Amino acid sequence: MKKHIPNIITLFNVLSGTIGVVAVLEGHWMAGFVLMIAAAIFDFFDGLVARLLGVSSPVGKELDSLADMVSFGVLPGMMMFMMMRNTHELDFIAISDIRLAPYFAFLIPMMSAMRLAKFNLDERQTSSFIGLPTPANALFIGAIAIAWHDLCPCNIVHQVIISSWFLYPVTVILSALLVAELPLFALKFKNMKWRSNEFRFIFLIGSIALLGIFYQWLYMAIIIIIPTYIILSIIQNLFFKRED
């Protein structure tokens, strides 16, 4: 029985992502975002439980990627699509009465699928990542979606993110980061020493501080945390020897 426990947790990841898509389609953005976070929690614990129980399996690995495709590929793609539908700068790109520009959002699930397929075959990603992990990408998009609906229209952040000139470039950049040959550190500690873990500790401490500062607006913390993660990884790659 215990060999099925991690897979059951993974299936709850699928369930969270699927219901999240329905929630977004019905206009329940916060529910969709919460379900995305729930999926990320299930995604974290399925692998952890598999290792603790010693029941890791090829089926579990493949199932995990399929679940991530739903929760961190389709769900954020649908969020971006629904946001783009509410912008009108590119309405001239259409066939008959069908606006084509919003469908550009589905570049996100396309590149997420490529990212997940590469991850399953890439033996370099045992202690670090190559390319932006799909959960990080999804949470960033989800946070933007919540900021879109929660912030006052008078807020400068709101005014920026409601524009096509923000959403479309962000979609391209995030999609490129998913499949880029860009090493990013993983939060996997071989030991608890400061040396060799400096960037992990800095990132964790900074993230906790931001979540505390923005405890009423957690989406704002996530909007800051994900770019910070990418920037710290780039600094580590440029100026410090990366550990494999």
Count of CA atoms in the C-beta half-sphere (13 A) of 235: 11
Q: What is the DSSP letter of 123?
A: T
CB 220 within 8 A of CB 171: no
Give the range among 17-31, 177-191, 222-236 with minimum mean pLDDT.
Answer: 177-191
Average pLDDT over every residue of 216-234 = 93
pLDDT at 144: 96
8 pLDDT band, cuts 50/70/90, is: very high
Letter string b/e over residues 202-221, b meaning 16 or more CB atoms within 10 A of that residue's CB: ebeeebeebeeebeeebbbb
Contact 138, 36 (CB under 8 A): yes
At 126, is the pLDDT very low, low, confident or very high (cuts 50, 70, 90)? low
Does residue 62 carry a pLDDT above 60? yes
Share of the chain above pLDDT 90, in %: 63
Q: Kindly state the helix (H) or strand (E) to which residue 99 belongs, with its residue range.
A: strand 98-99
Three-state DSSP state, 94: strand
With 90 as the cut, is the pLDDT of residue 25 above it?
yes
The strand pairing partners of 58, in sequence order, are none
Domain 2-239 belongs to what topology? Four Helix Bundle (Hemerythrin (Met), subunit A) (1.20.120)
Helix (H) or strand (E) holding 98: strand 98-99
Instruction: Render pLDDT for 128-164 as a digit per residue (tens, 0 to 9).
Output: 889 999 999 999 999 999 999 998 888 888 888 889 9
Dist. CA 116–CA 65, nearest whole Å: 6
Q: Which of 128, 119, 225, 121 is nearest to 184 (CA)?
A: 128
Asked whether residue 242 carries a pLDDT value surpassing 60, the answer given is: no
Sketch the domain layout of the chain as residue ranges: 2-239
Confidence of residue 51 (pLDDT cuts 50, 70, 90): confident
* Residues in contact with 187: Cβ distance below 8 Å, sequence separation at least 6, in sequence order: 200, 203, 204
pTM summary value: 0.91
Mean pLDDT of 166-170: 95
Sign of CA dihedral 180, 123, 52, 42: positive
Amino acid identity of residue 74, one-letter, is V
- Which of 36-45, 91-100, 112-121 is modeled with the greatest confidence? 36-45
The confidence band for 244, taking pLDDT boundaries of 50, 70 and 90, is very low
Asked whether 83 and 167 are in contact (CB, 8 A), the reply is: yes
Q: What is the mean pLDDT of the chain?
A: 90
Is residue 191 very low, low, confident or very high in pLDDT (cuts 50, 70, 90)? low
d(CA 79, CA 147): 12
